[in-house]
Amino acid sequence: MTGQVRTVDGRVAGRRGQATRQKLLDCLSEMLSSSPYRDVKVIDVARKAGTSPATFYQYFPDVEGAVLEIADQMAAEGAALAGLLEGRSWVGKAGWQTAQELVDGFLEFWRKHDAILRVVDLGAAEGDKRFYKLRMKILNSVNSSLADAVAELQSRGKVDKDVNPAAIAGSLVTMLAAVASHQKGFSAWGVKPPELRPNLALLVHLGVTGKKPSR
């Protein structure tokens, strides 16, 4: 099922090749964290990995291609985010708990992968379908769970009829993602991370249920 790893010119990669490939990915990942996306050069990645630029091009068509690969690995890990909402309740104190844990998990995931997620976000915003699909893949698990929760509350008459669950869920997820990547910006507004979290959870809870949480 997992298609074999192949080089650009079609050969299948063996043990050593895969190791080199992974090392290049790791080094690229590191470079993305330490320097602006625009300034990341193939030659620097290759140097850092102790190999030559030509080797890089053996495994990836270009920097973008390698970034997609990293993002893909991360997306797989991101599926775990759905677990934050699996079988959770949005009613009463449990609802407040759910909101808080969702926010925590989300911020944590984003902080861990911030460099690569920045690039994915940019690519998606620029209209590149590959990045855009990848972004979906990561957010979709959380998004659809949230949308389901809203729709369910709606069907029980606890949320107004004219609310669009997908729109609400999408907006909340987008908010979490954006706030996570601009956490530093909040310090400048005088908001420290520990203060941010409960307020975000409040917004999520309000958005999903339409009500203030009971703590």
Partner DNA sequence: ACTTGTCCTGTCATGCCGTCAGCTTACCGA
Partner DNA sequence: TCGGTAAGCTGACGGCATGACAGGACAAGT
Q: Which of residues 83-122 bind DNA (CB under 7 A)?
A: none
Q: How far is the CB of 107 from a second copy (least distance, A)?
A: 12
Q: Which helix (H) or strand (E) holds 148?
A: helix 129-155
**CB nearer DNA, residue 20 or residue 154:** 20
Residue 97 tokens read as 């708990």
Q: Which of residues 24-53 bind DNA (CB under 7 A)?
A: 41-44, 50-53
Distances (CA, A) of 29 to 62, 68, 106, 119, 182: 14, 11, 20, 11, 19
Residues 134 and 125: beta-carbon distance below 8 Å: no
- What does 43-102 look like in DSSP terms, one character per residue? HHHHHHTTS-HHHHHHH-SSHHHHHHHHHHHHHHHHGGGGGGTTT---SHHHHHHHHHHH
Residue 126 interacting partner from a second copy, DNA, none (CB closer than 5 to 8 Å by kind): a second copy
Residue 89 interacting partner from a second copy, DNA, none (CB closer than 5 to 8 Å by kind): none
**CB nearer DNA, residue 57 or residue 132:** 57
Residue 18 interacting partner from a second copy, DNA, none (CB closer than 5 to 8 Å by kind): DNA
**CB nearer DNA, residue 49 or residue 147:** 49
Cα separation, 43 vs 40, whole angstroms:
9
**CB nearer DNA, residue 64 or residue 104:** 64
Cα separation, 213 vs 210, whole angstroms:
9
Residue 12 interacting partner from a second copy, DNA, none (CB closer than 5 to 8 Å by kind): DNA
Q: Is 125 in the site for DNA (CB under 7 A)?
A: no
Q: Which residues of 197-215 are buried (b: 16+ CB within 10 A; e: fewer)?
A: eeebbbbbbebbbeeebee
Among 3, 36, 54, 184, the residue binding DNA under the rule CB under 7 A is 54
Cα separation, 13 vs 5, whole angstroms:
6
Q: How far apart are the first and last CA of the chain?
A: 47
Note the residues at the interface with DNA (CB under 7 A): 7-8, 11-20, 41-44, 50-55, 57-58, 62-63
Note the residues at the interface with a second copy (CB under 8 A): 36-38, 63-64, 114, 118, 121-128, 132, 135-136, 143, 160, 162-164, 166-168, 170-172, 174-175, 177-179, 181-182, 184-186, 188-191, 195-196, 198-200, 202-203, 206-207, 210, 212
